Structure 1
């Protein structure tokens, strides 16, 4: 019977061959994208594992054999908005541990650099970057220690005496090889996750896999109605239900198997391209995009099995009765219970408002379950919403094309919704993602800062850190002012006596600044007329927003007394050029390596830095789900035309204009899309609001015009896809179709 099924599949004429090719091609695209998504998740794990060694100074690691301890100091630097990771090492003996990617430890005043950092140093003037490092480059760091080809990492050799004067120095006897866990959320090598995949990445993975699965399912249903008629004819001549099911399964499985094989090949071709997509803010190594044996097995077996199951379900009317197709009756209308999964997902997200799980793993499980339930609920509720919208339109229209379209949608809303289900999910994911990212951005401040603060350079520790120095050398100040593009250098003094602390609502002692310096640094505010020294809150120097309108209170201290107080930090304003900002940064870093220099942008909180990566993930989701959904829509519309070409041909023979039939097809696809799109968009915003309220205690902020342009563009593109398939109607519904049907 299997041999007969194969012969029937392969010798069914041009139509059967074309159907086989289309199904295989659609499945290949879906499988290729699915494998790329799974490989990207695996690549994140590999990326994380290759930066674990950076935690060596932050977590306890015990060597398996006695070794000489190594002094270890991790610190961050920046260049033109890019983070540079530096590790100072000073071995106390010949058996000190060696980090991965190095053949040996660098000698004092030597350093190893990642290939990207070495290239950047070579292409940049030394007074902007290279002068921050020793003069001798001992070699390049191997990929075993690099999270990404773009990673900027340096391992710098020091002497024990040099490191003994610097803060945050640890004694290391073993290189870290495991995740630090939740208790070390600030560890440098924490990567994208600590002990579990972050919530955002998990939701993104689910958002990517869902449309791909729908695309594969849509492809396997091509020409379902035509195949039903053929199998019903077989039943009439004596074929058993089991034989019909076997033939159907062989045909669908053959196409899906060919598509899966081609999809694996497509994945291999796409891998170099996918590696360049910065899912987490940086590129992947192409070799990191690998699949586990379980994933390969699940996809290789799961796609053909799913195709066979879909074929079996699609033909259940034929197997019950050989007259089932000829006697076609209206399917039972969807019931209101289809709304329950959607309501359950919303309810699950609402339950955790005020009950946020404490652990990352618990939050991932809670919120990911809710989002997946909502997505599944949209797919389940879609036919009911489509039916309700169609019935509502039927009551308010008298046009023939509209009546034909809405009556058919009301009779079989499942078929009508199926064609747009992928786009509905894409709209939900886009709305939820943009809502979450946009709200976080508004509440935590824009990463780019105000124009006034964007060109500033701060050198010194955080608020709780010790002062920078007792006093700044006059030569250093002269060199700073001599840098082309530097406008002002404000010296910010410590306030050990706590002068003016009673004026701060938090009771913190403000920093003390000469009013003459503030006059040259308008972005920081100003003093009252005639004042000599002002008290400025310390946080003001780290803020992304300018305070040019602020007037700071004066303090009863002279300029001479101020000069004898320790220097807390320096605040340098420039013309905004990279050369000026990086020269100022390099000069101050060389003079005071205890603390790095940072732009105001660099001073963004860790969550703000994560936000940049989340934005990138949002872009990946939007740019991936919309094309996949568009492909699903095109395949579904073409499949619907192919399945109903004989009824449409008969209508044309009875005098129905071709234009009316095109309007019917267009309305049948557009009405479910527009009606369910409204529900999907609203649900996306509601899910985003519940997540934000639970996780961060934020209220949803309405997205900007870019979002609405993007959604409108997506809907217009979808309507364009529908319109592009309509010319096929003329060719498919000619007189020969009615004769040969």
Structure 2
């Protein structure tokens, strides 16, 4: 039967060939997007894996064999809003461990940099970046140590005494391969910001699968009615149910196999494009976008099997009886129980608001299952909603076209809803994704805005916060800022003012501000006047006690008057300097030249500007924005293609009934209105439910996971959604002229 089935697949003339090509193309597009989605999730895992070495010293790993110790101190530097991961290393002997991506450790006076950082060094004046790194460039950090081709990473060699003196330096005997469970803001890479993106990408990936699968399923049902008639004729001449099952499965499987193979080609073509989408704020390496054997095998085997199963279900009436086609009995109406999965999915998401899972895997499982249940609920409950809406309209209309369309929908709501199922899911996925990501951007983007005056300031503060004591001295303090360093800073074009915050050993001026105790530092009032965004002194005061966090957190409070303290400016000048605060005209060259001066002269400090605090968060926001764009640009077009295929297939399957109606006197315009109403009503009714459900699911996710209230997605979302619905109605309208061609008298003949 299989060779015979293969001949039938390609011997049906142009119609069979067109059906085969259409199904193949649909499956190829769906498989390509499905594989690209899996690859993006895998790439994020690989990115996280390559960041683990950055947490050396925090993961507590030990060597399996005796080796020399490696002194290690890691920090984040910045340049023009971009993060630079910097590691200072010094080996006690030749067997000290070497980080990945390096063939050996840089010697004192040498450093190795990533390709992206080397390009930045070439394109940037040395006074703004290269002068921060002592010595000469001696090599390249390989891809094995880089999360992205855009990563700015540098490993600086030093002597043991130099590195050991840095705050936070530690001696290690192995390079980290894990992230400690207690990893906090002091850790780097996956332990900090990988889980949230992985969670959202996993949920969105699961959501994207549904429109793709609906599209594939719709395509495999093309010309189901004409195929039913052909198979019924075969049954009447003696074909068994098993033989008909084989023929129908082979016809769909051939196209599905060809489409699956082509889909792997589509995936290969999409890999460079997907790699350039900065989901995490940076691009992926193309090699990171790979598939596991289980994923590749699952898609390669699962899609053809699913297509065969869809064909088997679509033609099940012929398998039962050869008279099934001619009888065409009205199917049983759907029941209200179909709404149970939809309600259950929303209830699960609501439950997670009350009982939030503590682990990332628990969160992924909970949210993914909740969203999948909601989408299943929309698909399962869609026919019942279509039937209810059709009956309601039928009771309130007397127009012939409306009555015919609504009666047909009420009699067979499954077929009516099937045409718009892909679009309904696309609207749900788009609404939920844009609602979640738009709210995150609104909440965090506003918080990262910053005061315009503060964004022109730069603070140079200790690498270790707090009051840690090393060898009797407070960690990170500077005995004094030399006149030479001060002169270098003032010589920078764009420099406006500078204030030195001195250690306050006697806790002079210690007060509370609201519910928070102040941690005061001492500042000369003549210098405080140069940085008015921080506040001002009382009239006649010479020295003020200023909250240290007012500097460190880069907060603006120009109207606050800080209390005077009974100490002379000369005595303050003798106290160690806790941090340096400088202001500029806000230009990048001025900010970066000051940062370089401070970094070069005070290696135990780190110089930051307001935008640096937000750089990593902004990268996340950028990645989420890109994710929303991907959802918008994939789901709606896929759903539109599925709608077009469904409407055309429906017209083809009903050519004979429509031809009979035309022969009995029904005008063509009446039939066009019937077809339009049959497609438009389920689209509008269930689309409204999908949009509302998408907003509700997004609101529950945001409240449970992040404690945010859903924000309005903005004009772009409403514009795109309206465009998608209008375009879908346009697709329906564009198919109506086909009625004249396919409902001529020749279509009404028997056979």
TM-score (norm: length of structure 2): 0.91
Following superposition, the deviation at residue 689 of structure 1 comes to 2.3
Tell whether 2:362 aligns with 1:362.
Answer: yes
The C-alpha deviation readout for 1:665-723, integer Å capped at 9, x for no partner, is 33333322222222222222222222233233333333333332333233333334334
Q: Structure 1 residues 487, 620: CA separation in 2 closer, same or farther (over 3 Å shift)?
A: farther
Q: Structure 1 residues 65, 490: CA separation in 2 closer, same or farther (over 3 Å shift)?
A: same
SS of 1:272 mapped into structure 2: helix
**For residue 642 of structure 1, what is the aligned residue in structure 2?**
652
SS of 1:352 mapped into structure 2: helix
Tell whether 2:473 aligns with 1:464.
Answer: no
SS of 1:84 mapped into structure 2: strand
Following superposition, the deviation at residue 566 of structure 1 comes to 4.0
Q: Structure 1 residues 585, 639: CA separation in 2 closer, same or farther (over 3 Å shift)?
A: farther
Q: Structure 1 residues 554, 35: CA separation in 2 closer, same or farther (over 3 Å shift)?
A: same
The 2-side partners of 1:650 and 1:533 are apart by 98
**For residue 447 of structure 1, what is the aligned residue in structure 2?**
448
Contact 1:163 1:169 (8 Å CA) reproduced: yes
Contact 2:167 2:476 (8 Å CA) reproduced: no
Following superposition, the deviation at residue 116 of structure 1 comes to 0.9
The 1-side partners of 2:512 and 2:65 are apart by 56
The 1-side partners of 2:271 and 2:211 are apart by 20
Tell whether 2:600 aligns with 1:590.
Answer: yes
Task: Identify the match of residue 708 of structure 1 among 694, 718, 721.
Answer: 718
**For residue 332 of structure 1, what is the aligned residue in structure 2?**
332
The 1-side partners of 2:516 and 2:38 are apart by 48
SS of 1:602 mapped into structure 2: helix
**For residue 683 of structure 1, what is the aligned residue in structure 2?**
693
**For residue 373 of structure 1, what is the aligned residue in structure 2?**
373
Contact 1:524 1:546 (8 Å CA) reproduced: yes
**For residue 601 of structure 1, what is the aligned residue in structure 2?**
611
Contact 1:116 1:152 (8 Å CA) reproduced: yes
The 1-side partners of 2:748 and 2:624 are apart by 54
Following superposition, the deviation at residue 226 of structure 1 comes to 1.9
Tell whether 2:165 aligns with 1:165.
Answer: yes
Following superposition, the deviation at residue 120 of structure 1 comes to 1.1
The 2-side partners of 1:655 and 1:578 are apart by 77
Q: Structure 1 residues 468, 385: CA separation in 2 closer, same or farther (over 3 Å shift)?
A: farther
SS of 1:50 mapped into structure 2: helix
Contact 1:426 1:629 (8 Å CA) reproduced: yes
The 2-side partners of 1:580 and 1:427 are apart by 48
**For residue 227 of structure 1, what is the aligned residue in structure 2?**
227
The 2-side partners of 1:459 and 1:669 are apart by 65
SS of 1:678 mapped into structure 2: helix
SS of 1:721 mapped into structure 2: helix
Contact 2:489 2:597 (8 Å CA) reproduced: yes
Following superposition, the deviation at residue 536 of structure 1 comes to 4.7
SS of 1:281 mapped into structure 2: coil
The 1-side partners of 2:659 and 2:456 are apart by 69
Moved more, 698-707 or 287-296: 698-707
**For residue 430 of structure 1, what is the aligned residue in structure 2?**
430
The 1-side partners of 2:524 and 2:430 are apart by 50
**For residue 89 of structure 2, what is the aligned residue in structure 1?**
89
The within-5 A match list for 1:146-185 is 146-181=146-181
The 1-side partners of 2:551 and 2:390 are apart by 60
Tell whether 2:631 aligns with 1:631.
Answer: no
Q: Structure 1 residues 654, 535: CA separation in 2 closer, same or farther (over 3 Å shift)?
A: farther
Tell whether 2:511 aligns with 1:501.
Answer: yes
**For residue 130 of structure 1, what is the aligned residue in structure 2?**
130
Following superposition, the deviation at residue 20 of structure 1 comes to 0.6
The 2-side partners of 1:735 and 1:498 are apart by 101
Contact 2:699 2:709 (8 Å CA) reproduced: yes
**For residue 563 of structure 2, what is the aligned residue in structure 1?**
554
Contact 2:81 2:615 (8 Å CA) reproduced: no
Contact 2:82 2:615 (8 Å CA) reproduced: no
The 1-side partners of 2:196 and 2:64 are apart by 27
Following superposition, the deviation at residue 531 of structure 1 comes to 5.8
Contact 2:435 2:712 (8 Å CA) reproduced: yes
**For residue 28 of structure 1, what is the aligned residue in structure 2?**
28
**For residue 190 of structure 2, what is the aligned residue in structure 1?**
190
Following superposition, the deviation at residue 477 of structure 1 comes to 2.8
Following superposition, the deviation at residue 518 of structure 1 comes to 5.2
The C-alpha deviation readout for 1:438-458, integer Å capped at 9, x for no partner, is 434444444343444334333
**For residue 50 of structure 1, what is the aligned residue in structure 2?**
50
The 1-side partners of 2:731 and 2:591 are apart by 49
**For residue 567 of structure 1, what is the aligned residue in structure 2?**
577
Following superposition, the deviation at residue 300 of structure 1 comes to 1.1
Following superposition, the deviation at residue 557 of structure 1 comes to 4.4
Contact 1:458 1:571 (8 Å CA) reproduced: yes
**For residue 296 of structure 1, what is the aligned residue in structure 2?**
296
The 2-side partners of 1:182 and 1:590 are apart by 32
TM-score (norm: length of structure 1): 0.92
The 2-side partners of 1:557 and 1:442 are apart by 46
SS of 2:628 mapped into structure 1: helix
Contact 2:508 2:565 (8 Å CA) reproduced: no
Following superposition, the deviation at residue 57 of structure 1 comes to 1.9
Following superposition, the deviation at residue 251 of structure 1 comes to 0.5
**For residue 472 of structure 2, what is the aligned residue in structure 1?**
none
Q: Structure 1 residues 418, 517: CA separation in 2 closer, same or farther (over 3 Å shift)?
A: farther
Contact 2:450 2:610 (8 Å CA) reproduced: yes
Contact 1:493 1:562 (8 Å CA) reproduced: yes
SS of 2:710 mapped into structure 1: coil
**For residue 629 of structure 2, what is the aligned residue in structure 1?**
619
SS of 1:603 mapped into structure 2: helix
Structure 1: gaps (5+ residues): none
Tell whether 2:213 aligns with 1:213.
Answer: yes
The within-5 A match list for 1:243-282 is 243-282=243-282
Structure 2: gaps (5+ residues): 468-474
The 2-side partners of 1:544 and 1:521 are apart by 12
SS of 1:301 mapped into structure 2: helix
**For residue 17 of structure 2, what is the aligned residue in structure 1?**
17
SS of 2:325 mapped into structure 1: coil
The C-alpha deviation readout for 1:103-140, integer Å capped at 9, x for no partner, is 11111111111111111111111111111123411111
Contact 2:500 2:579 (8 Å CA) reproduced: yes
RMSD across aligned positions (CA):
2.8
Following superposition, the deviation at residue 589 of structure 1 comes to 1.6
SS of 2:71 mapped into structure 1: strand
The C-alpha deviation readout for 1:573-607, integer Å capped at 9, x for no partner, is 33333222222222222122223222212213966
The 1-side partners of 2:502 and 2:682 are apart by 66
**For residue 473 of structure 1, what is the aligned residue in structure 2?**
482
The 1-side partners of 2:434 and 2:251 are apart by 42
**For residue 3 of structure 1, what is the aligned residue in structure 2?**
3
Task: Identify the match of residue 494 of structure 2 among 461, 485, 488.
Answer: 485
**For residue 693 of structure 1, what is the aligned residue in structure 2?**
703
Following superposition, the deviation at residue 644 of structure 1 comes to 2.2
Q: Structure 1 residues 149, 503: CA separation in 2 closer, same or farther (over 3 Å shift)?
A: closer
The 1-side partners of 2:401 and 2:266 are apart by 42
Moved more, 500-509 or 35-44: 500-509
Q: Structure 1 residues 621, 403: CA separation in 2 closer, same or farther (over 3 Å shift)?
A: same
Provide the aligned length of Structure 1 versus Structure 2: 740
Contact 1:207 1:621 (8 Å CA) reproduced: no
Q: Structure 1 residues 652, 535: CA separation in 2 closer, same or farther (over 3 Å shift)?
A: farther
**For residue 471 of structure 2, what is the aligned residue in structure 1?**
none
Q: Structure 1 residues 289, 439: CA separation in 2 closer, same or farther (over 3 Å shift)?
A: closer
